[in-house]
Amino acid sequence: MHPSALHLWLPLHRWSSGLVGVVALVHCAMTPVLYDGWHADALWFFGTGMALLLLSVMNLAHVGPASSVPSPLPTAPVLRWANVGFLVFGLAALLAVAESQALVIVLGLLAQAVASFWTLPGPPRPPSHDATGS
């Protein structure tokens, strides 16, 4: 990757991962405010916040201020696709709950997913062979 591209995508990845983490913490903290008692809906809501927080922390561990980029961690290719998976579920949630906070989290997930394809390495590729077969 060209260094100037990394200079553009790395801050976006860090900031969007931070945004996802902050929204996740607020999401978890709102559980007792929005739900009376601990039941399936409250657990589902809290669990969603925890899943978003885990995704955020994993991304920051790969591209945070103290990390080397591209990340040498073997989980980087899997994390790229986890970001895409969370984005897909986020879009589905936005269709079901068309509220401003859902839009904020989807925008954060979108930026995180797109940036991760520039800042996290993909799976290793087998060595290529030239036309001579060597």
Please report, for the chain, the start and end positions of each structural domain, with discontinuous segments joined by +: 3-119
Q: What is the pLDDT of residue 66?
A: 67
Helix (H, G, I), strand (E, B) or coil at 19: helix
Mean pLDDT of 6-10: 81
What's the chain's average pLDDT?
87
Q: CA-CA distance, 50 to 52, in Å (whole number)? A: 5
pLDDT band at 3 (very low <50, low <70, confident <90, very high): low
pLDDT band at 121 (very low <50, low <70, confident <90, very high): confident
Nearest to 21 by CA among 60, 47, 64: 60
Q: What is the pLDDT of residue 31?
A: 96
Q: Has residue 1 got a pLDDT over 60? A: no
Token pair listed for 43: 């657990």
Q: What is the C-alpha radius of gyration for the chain, rounded to an integer number of angstroms?
A: 18
Nearest to 60 by CA among 121, 126, 116: 116
Q: Has residue 44 got a pLDDT over 90? A: yes
Token pair listed for 13: 């990845």
Mean pLDDT of 55-77: 84
Q: What is the pLDDT of residue 122?
A: 75
Q: CA-CA distance, 50 to 85, in Å (whole number)? A: 16
pTM above 0.75, yes or no: yes
Q: Has residue 130 got a pLDDT over 60? A: no
